Structures are given as structure tokens and as C-alpha cells.
Structure 1
């Protein structure tokens, strides 16, 4: 079973790396995966921030149709989109990519809360990008 907080941390770190490299489509895909992991982990502030960043970058994105990321996750249509991206980049691949970059999937030491780490990373990503 995947630790959703760890998956959230991994996907957000990859979104930040993609943002720093100017790779907006990759950034938005990792934000999408991070938002889903945030919902599953109960870190709704992070899920909402991911949604805001995606919508600011892609006003035509399917997420625009929903008031929140959890609302989107309850939709069968949105789940089809998520299933596709989760198959293309499962947590294990995200973990591998981070290790290649010299980062840890958790991204935090044991004294730091994952939700704080994730929200700090998301604050470094500029809307629209």
C-alpha cells in the first residue's frame, strides 16, 4: 500500500523541479497527481493549491468544472483522467525519478510535517508559469 503523504511529497517535488526547468506540461501533470494524493492523504489545503495552480496555467483543464479537487475525485469522468496519469507515472516511477535527482521521496526529515513541506514547495510554484 502506498503511503499517500509520501506520494504527495514525491509528486510535489517533481512538479517543483519541472517548474524550475520551465516544463509546464510536466509540472501540471505532477500537480494533478499530487492533488489526488493530497485528497487521499487528507491534506486538502495542498489539493486546493494544486487545483489553483493547474487552473491558472490551463483555464480549459477539466478541473475547472469542479469546485474543489475532492469534488473532482468523486466524478467518474475525472477518475478516468486520473487513472490514465497514475498508470503513466505510478508512485514507484516518481520515487525513481527523485532518487535520480538526488532527492528523497519523503523530502522532509522526521521532525517536519509533510503537509508543511508540501505547502512550502507549492508556494515556490508561480501560477500560470
Structure 2
């Protein structure tokens, strides 16, 4: 005779905000891994070595780029997304290290990422 165990399915599970934070974590990690090295390579290596004309990064051109919608979104994403990744990693890393800060730690981490995001938006709008 085969015994069947029946597991009761929770038809009204508690809503979680974790998908939002994991989504920002994933977006930030992807941005940081894929676009930040290219940005550093261009600005930190190609221009100083003279392999890319320094005039390509003149104040006027960079200001024009930063003032465009694409440039503004690029700057915001470059500053904000990796910060969301880092703060989510910090929040869960503290838990892994048995430093249980509870809701206070979660709010502090995500508040800081929110503040950086807001500052990036303000910065772009001021350009």
C-alpha cells in the first residue's frame, strides 16, 4: 500500500517585498559587472594613455551627454544600481555573519541606496 502525504497549500500567502530588492540587486550586479569595467577602461585607461582623443571627453561634450535623456539615465543607473546591489548584499551579508539587525538594518541599507538614487536624479536634473 502506498502512503500519500498531503501538504496543505497556503492559498493566501503573505506578500513579500523581497522580489523588489532582489530585482534591484540583480540589475545592480549586472550593470556593475557589464558596464562599469568598460567605463573605467575608457575613462581610466584609453584617455590617459592617449589612445582616445581627450577632446572626446571635453567638458562641453560630457555636459551635453549628461543633459540628454540617455546620458542622464546612464549616469543615474551607474550611480544607483550598483548601490542597490551593494546594500542588498550588505543587508544579507550581515545576516549570514549572524549580525541580526532586523527591520532597522533593512531600512538603513535600503534608505541609503534610495538616498544615493535620489541624489543621482537631483544631480542629473541640475546639469
| Same structural fold, with TM-score higher than 0.5 when normalized by the shorter chain | no
Larger radius of gyration: 2
TM-score (norm 2): 0.27
Query: Using CA pairs below 8 Å that are at least 6 residues apart, which structure has the higher relative contact order?
Result: 1
TM-score (norm 1): 0.27
